[in-house]
Amino acid sequence: MCRWMAWLGQPIPIEELLFKSPHGIVDQSLHARMGAEPTNGDGFGLGWYGSGAGPALYHSVAPAWADPNLRELASHIESPLFMVHVRAAIGSPVQQTNCHPFRDGDWLFVHNGYIADFHLLRRELMLAIDPDRFADVSGSTDTEVVFHVALTLGLKEDPIGAMERTIGLIEATASRLGIANPVQGSFGISDGDSLWAVRYASDGKPRSLFASADPESIRRLHPENERFRRLTADDRVIVSEPFSDLPGVWHEIPPSTAVTVRRGGVLESQPFEPATTSVGA
Amino acid sequence: MCRWMAWLGQPIPIEELLFKSPHGIVDQSLHARMGAEPTNGDGFGLGWYGSGAGPALYHSVAPAWADPNLRELASHIESPLFMVHVRAAIGSPVQQTNCHPFRDGDWLFVHNGYIADFHLLRRELMLAIDPDRFADVSGSTDTEVVFHVALTLGLKEDPIGAMERTIGLIEATASRLGIANPVQGSFGISDGDSLWAVRYASDGKPRSLFASADPESIRRLHPENERFRRLTADDRVIVSEPFSDLPGVWHEIPPSTAVTVRRGGVLESQPFEPATTSVGA
Amino acid sequence: MCRWMAWLGQPIPIEELLFKSPHGIVDQSLHARMGAEPTNGDGFGLGWYGSGAGPALYHSVAPAWADPNLRELASHIESPLFMVHVRAAIGSPVQQTNCHPFRDGDWLFVHNGYIADFHLLRRELMLAIDPDRFADVSGSTDTEVVFHVALTLGLKEDPIGAMERTIGLIEATASRLGIANPVQGSFGISDGDSLWAVRYASDGKPRSLFASADPESIRRLHPENERFRRLTADDRVIVSEPFSDLPGVWHEIPPSTAVTVRRGGVLESQPFEPATTSVGA
Amino acid sequence: MCRWMAWLGQPIPIEELLFKSPHGIVDQSLHARMGAEPTNGDGFGLGWYGSGAGPALYHSVAPAWADPNLRELASHIESPLFMVHVRAAIGSPVQQTNCHPFRDGDWLFVHNGYIADFHLLRRELMLAIDPDRFADVSGSTDTEVVFHVALTLGLKEDPIGAMERTIGLIEATASRLGIANPVQGSFGISDGDSLWAVRYASDGKPRSLFASADPESIRRLHPENERFRRLTADDRVIVSEPFSDLPGVWHEIPPSTAVTVRRGGVLESQPFEPATTSVGA
């Protein structure tokens, strides 16, 4: 299990959501409430867009709650679009190359969940990766392989469609090998401009995923809240689990659903259906 | 908060108690039941006596549950006397020099608990350390300072007496500075031959501490248990919290009590009373 | 031995000086030419002023040449004033709390060199630290103690004067304990606005230190150089050893000299003379 | 570039060869003399046979010269057969899963050198791995892939023959892809009983490799040397570069040669010739 969050909106100091929000993602690294496990201490990653070309990555093998560099970066970097992922390793090594977000050019990718029996599927799925990309897989997680399969199947042209083809391919491969319910999780994707999130599990019961309500509604519901008063119409957060229990602030994204967040606070929702594909070994 | 354990008995592969016991200390690093916090993921340490001169130390900043080297060492090293400590940092940095056990010559020292308002007490307590030892303090924990004060006050000649003088000194210093209830915790000490443990808190409510019952009683209570059949009369374990819930296997060490474990399975208990001392700045 | 550099000038991507300059500080971590040792692989630190309150720190125990996060930060952060330090540990532990720059509020501090027989001097020097600051010393380096003594002796009001008093105090203390030539090194200091550097050794032969010439002279000497054409009158670099061998680009700062760099490219030089002081235990 | 060493002989404290020999492997991590680079600071590994089932591994991302745990293990573990590898990463990440020795069951494997253009060859070579082993590749080095290809081609039945087939396969694959001189290096292999070493490069100029002379000759040449007096007829060391410059102590293993060391100090040498093989994609 893992937890992740993504912000798209006005440029804010990253610490606002990491350390200054009640039950923010760093707190979730130690005390997650909705996940399979409360502890996500097997490294973490921060990816952000801002100064310099493309997104920047900070990957650490320390638990997020205990990494002094994370506090430094979070309080000295502002960004209009960033993603944070805290990891529970379930078996694979704790190393920077296994930390999310994964990156390719301008694109970032995070995942909460797993590919079942990945050791049985790994070879087949790696063969579905464009041979020119094969050597780019530098860690040993299921997620990085999923990312490269998705890139092979057109992630940069059609993010949600490519994810439907990727998960379709995984399910077809798993089926061939007799593995039930291979896909579990939520996925977050960005190109620096928009944000996409997918909530899906082969067994119909995916990990939790939430989007913040539109800021106007949030402010109307909680007029006394200082923090909410600073929100603009542009601001949206996607999270594995809500930062707070305030009613009306978070909307659950339903299972088998993909959402697209665009600048200006636009949030669009659509059904997510794995597609059959002819690509493969 | 932290958790620790110590074994004195027949030489056993360290993994027996770390990985092969239900709810062993590595499991407690992730899921402690009796501590102030369930997670003890801020590094850990293993100290063992065996081949080579004096005790060996392995200190790691990784959580114990996620360090592959610990599994390697635990399954390839046998020892008749070892101590393991998993740490929850409460503010001080996660670094190897802050990992327990601390060592001086043949002696090892672990602590679960804290010195209250240590930042206010640190200077005074470091001044109570023998000036020749002052530069040996290489980390920033309260425990390392307590250890060096205890060494100054005769730990190697009279472990329990020195701990009584040390804690008496801390309480007197704290009192002078207006700090209430300065000492909390349990302490484990060894010279490679015997084992001493202290359970004490200034407020009378110290962290939990348990000793294994004598092996004969354990076997009588649980005649069907394979693992217990291998216990000999020499074997004793001291733990912050029991590995299992089996009745009769663990005896709580009462508050304000010190125990001495000697080879041959001898366990002696005595009241622990902080002593006033004239040593100091 | 260590190597450090400091930039004060127009805001630039940090990578310009770390990775895109020939023989920059990261190259010096692996191949220093002028130091006592070619390798400075025992961790490093980056301190920069920019977004957010006060300077930010990134401390790493990895060698600078091998830390992927450093490349990420360097290519995605711009700063008008930053300092980088690569460390050769000479005995003290490789841990983040021993990485330079050290920080207090708005102030940063780096050091290349050593305090001789520091284990003998540590207690005396720590007693010279303002008791309210004593608990702020969180690592085990000589440099951090020097920094806190200097803060105690007025660093923030009069940086060079405080350094003269600090080094005077160290020399007086060493003399009392029979330690010859206790101070060796160069020091870099900043408050986010100006930059101070000191080159001094008790034996008169301090570690190397250089300042970049004024940009106009540099451009006149090397009119064909693209990189130099981008320099403005504001830009100055202080380095342990030059990035390149180009003549006229670097001026050696003489032994027993302090320099002050102010915005606008102003570089002032003055003799540095340790002062006797009445502060102490 | 990297450096490695292997000991087969009487059980000795590992520190004898790591820290107590002049220019031992830890010194070579900082000051190699014969390699492409003097610094091998990108992690290291120790594999040893002794107590417990199969070989134990200690992998660390710290430079060998700076890891306090290595000193602890080396001075508290005795072994009749151990291998140490210090790494210079040349591009691939510094992480424990990239540290040598690699292990499969009772077998250990180390390598000094590289597979040229590995990013172009990686996919083809991974397809040559037994599909059941594919998911066991957990790091991103060329060496780990070579090891798993060799296991696929019979390493455990015929170590040198399997290496000849493996390198033959790599050269054939490289040739198909237009890559010249793909293999460079020396390889060390053990099953806990014997030791095999291969020195080979496609261009005929492999990395250096040496075997210690038979102990009797060493003692006769250097009768005054205390250390050598303790050698028995059983003792042999294989090293990337000699620990000392003493004449007659080290014999260079010629290029295109494989050696076998068996208990009793037996050292056998044979030509090493890459073999064509029909296995592969």
Query: Is B111 strand, coil or helix?
Result: strand
Averaged pLDDT for residues A140-162: 98
- In the predicted model, what is the mean pLDDT of chain B? 94
Averaged pLDDT for residues A135-150: 96
Interface pTM (ipTM) of the complex? 0.94
- Does residue B255 have a cis bond before it (omega within 30 degrees)? no
- Which among D13, D52, D72 is the nearest to B76, CB-wise? D52
Which residue is closest to C140 within chain B, CA to CA?
Answer: B138
* Residue A187 near residue A165 (C-beta atoms within 8 A): no
Calculated CA dihedral for residues C155, C157, C160, C166, nearest 10 degrees = -40
* C-alpha torsion sign, points D70, D75, D78, D79: positive
| pLDDT band at residue C21 under the 50/70/90 scheme | confident
Question: C114 to chain A nearest CA, in Å?
Answer: 26
Question: C112 to chain B nearest CA, in Å?
Answer: 21
- In the predicted model, what is the mean pLDDT of chain D? 94
Mode of pairing for the β-strands spanning C44-49 and D78-87: unpaired
A41 and B68 within 8 Å at the Cβ level: the answer is no
Q: With a cut of 90, say whether residue A160 has pLDDT above it.
A: yes
- Which among D53, D59, D68 is the nearest to B96, CB-wise? D68
Averaged pLDDT for residues A205-213: 95
Averaged pLDDT for residues A163-171: 98
Which amino acid, residue C116? A
B135 and C122 within 8 Å at the Cβ level: the answer is yes
pLDDT for B227: 84
> Does any CB of chain B come closer than 8 Å to the CB of residue A279?
no
Chain C: touching chains (3 or more CB pairs < 8 Å)? A, B, D
| pLDDT band at residue A245 under the 50/70/90 scheme | confident
Which residue is closest to C68 within chain D, CA to CA?
Answer: D93
pLDDT for A1: 66
What is the C-alpha separation between D201 and A49, in angstroms, rounded?
Answer: 45
> Does any CB of chain B come closer than 8 Å to the CB of residue D78?
yes
Q: DSSP of A83-100, one letter per residue?
A: EEEEE--TTS---GGGPS
Contacts of A127 in chain D (CB under 8 A): 127
- Most confident range (mean pLDDT) of A51-65, C216-230, C241-255 is A51-65
Q: With a cut of 80, say whether residue A40 has pLDDT above it.
A: yes
pLDDT for A74: 97
Contacts of C73 in chain A (CB under 8 A): 56, 58, 73
| pLDDT band at residue B278 under the 50/70/90 scheme | low
Place of tokens 């020099």: B97
Q: Which of A35-44, B262-271, D231-240 is least confident? A: A35-44
Two structure tokens written together for A14: 């990253």
> Does any CB of chain C come closer than 8 Å to the CB of residue B138?
yes
Q: With a cut of 60, say whether residue A79 has pLDDT above it.
A: yes
Chain A: touching chains (3 or more CB pairs < 8 Å)? B, C, D
Q: Where is pLDDT greater, at C144 or B245?
A: C144
CA distances B85 to B265, C97, C159, D95, Å, are: 22, 22, 44, 25
Percent of chain A exceeding pLDDT 90 equals 81
* Residue D137 near residue D145 (C-beta atoms within 8 A): yes
What is the C-alpha separation between D237 and D249, in angstroms, rounded?
Answer: 10
> Does any CB of chain D come closer than 8 Å to the CB of residue B12?
no
Averaged pLDDT for residues A125-154: 97
- Which among B56, B59, B60 is the nearest to D76, CB-wise? B56
Q: Which residue, among A100, A53, A96, A45, has the nearest Cα to A73 in the 3D structure?
A: A45
Place of tokens 């020892």: B79
Percent of chain C exceeding pLDDT 90 equals 81
- In the predicted model, what is the mean pLDDT of chain A? 94
> Does any CB of chain C come closer than 8 Å to the CB of residue B57?
no
pLDDT for A278: 57
| pLDDT band at residue D1 under the 50/70/90 scheme | low
Averaged pLDDT for residues A188-206: 98
Output phi, psi for C219, to 5 deg.
-65, -35
Q: With a cut of 90, say whether residue D113 has pLDDT above it.
A: yes
Give pLDDT tens digits for D61-89: 999 999 999 999 999 999 999 999 999 99
What is the C-alpha separation between B169 and B158, in angstroms, rounded?
Answer: 16
pLDDT for A280: 45
Q: With a cut of 90, say whether residue A131 has pLDDT above it.
A: yes
Q: With a cut of 80, say whether residue C279 has pLDDT above it.
A: no
B30 and A42 within 8 Å at the Cβ level: the answer is no
C135 and B122 within 8 Å at the Cβ level: the answer is yes
Residues 6+ apart with CB under 8 A from A229: A219
* Residue C78 near residue C12 (C-beta atoms within 8 A): yes
Contacts of C62 in chain D (CB under 8 A): 61, 94
Which residue is closest to A95 within chain D, CA to CA?
Answer: D95
Q: Where is pLDDT greater, at D59 or C247?
A: D59
Pairs of CB atoms within 8 A across B/D: 57
Q: With a cut of 90, say whether residue A228 has pLDDT above it.
A: no
- Which among A39, A62, A68 is the nearest to B30, CB-wise? A39
Give pLDDT tens digits for C37-52: 789 999 999 999 999 9
Q: With a cut of 80, say whether residue D163 has pLDDT above it.
A: yes
| pLDDT band at residue D278 under the 50/70/90 scheme | low
- Which among C97, C122, C127 is the nearest to B140, CB-wise? C97
Chain D: touching chains (3 or more CB pairs < 8 Å)? A, B, C
A51 and C13 within 8 Å at the Cβ level: the answer is yes
- Which among C57, C72, C75 is the nearest to A72, CB-wise? C57
Two structure tokens written together for D158: 């015929």
Averaged pLDDT for residues D149-155: 98
- Does residue B101 have a cis bond before it (omega within 30 degrees)? yes
Output phi, psi for C227, to 5 deg.
-60, -45
What is the C-alpha separation between B26 and B20, in angstroms, rounded?
Answer: 10
* Residue B198 near residue B238 (C-beta atoms within 8 A): no
> Does any CB of chain B come closer than 8 Å to the CB of residue A94?
yes
pLDDT for D22: 84
Q: Which residue, among A238, A170, A163, A166, has the nearest Cα to A207 in the 3D structure?
A: A238
Percent of chain C exceeding pLDDT 70 equals 98
What is the C-alpha separation between C69 and C60, in angstroms, rounded?
Answer: 9
Q: With a cut of 70, say whether residue D279 has pLDDT above it.
A: no
* Residue D184 near residue D215 (C-beta atoms within 8 A): no
Q: Where is pLDDT greater, at C89 or A47?
A: A47
| pLDDT band at residue A246 under the 50/70/90 scheme | confident
Give pLDDT tens digits for C128-179: 999 999 999 999 999 999 999 999 999 999 999 999 999 999 999 999 999 9
| pLDDT band at residue C1 under the 50/70/90 scheme | low
pLDDT for A63: 96
Contacts of C75 in chain A (CB under 8 A): 52-53, 56
| pLDDT band at residue B281 under the 50/70/90 scheme | very low
Give pLDDT tens digits for B2-22: 999 999 999 999 999 999 988
This prediction has a pTM of 0.95
Percent of chain B exceeding pLDDT 70 equals 98
pLDDT for C42: 95
In chain C, DSSP finds a helix count (H) and a strand count (E) of: 9, 13
What is the C-alpha separation between B94 and B27, in angstroms, rounded?
Answer: 20
| pLDDT band at residue D91 under the 50/70/90 scheme | confident
| pLDDT band at residue C247 under the 50/70/90 scheme | confident
Chain B: touching chains (3 or more CB pairs < 8 Å)? A, C, D
> Does any CB of chain B come closer than 8 Å to the CB of residue D57?
yes
| pLDDT band at residue D281 under the 50/70/90 scheme | very low
| pLDDT band at residue D23 under the 50/70/90 scheme | confident
> Does any CB of chain D come closer than 8 Å to the CB of residue C38?
yes
* Residue A96 near residue A61 (C-beta atoms within 8 A): yes
What is the C-alpha separation between B128 and B149, in angstroms, rounded?
Answer: 6
The kind and range of the H/E element at C125 are helix C118-127
D58 and B72 within 8 Å at the Cβ level: the answer is yes
Two structure tokens written together for A123: 């070879």
Which residue is closest to A62 within chain C, CA to CA?
Answer: C60
Question: B58 to chain D nearest CA, in Å?
Answer: 6
Contacts of A137 in chain D (CB under 8 A): 140
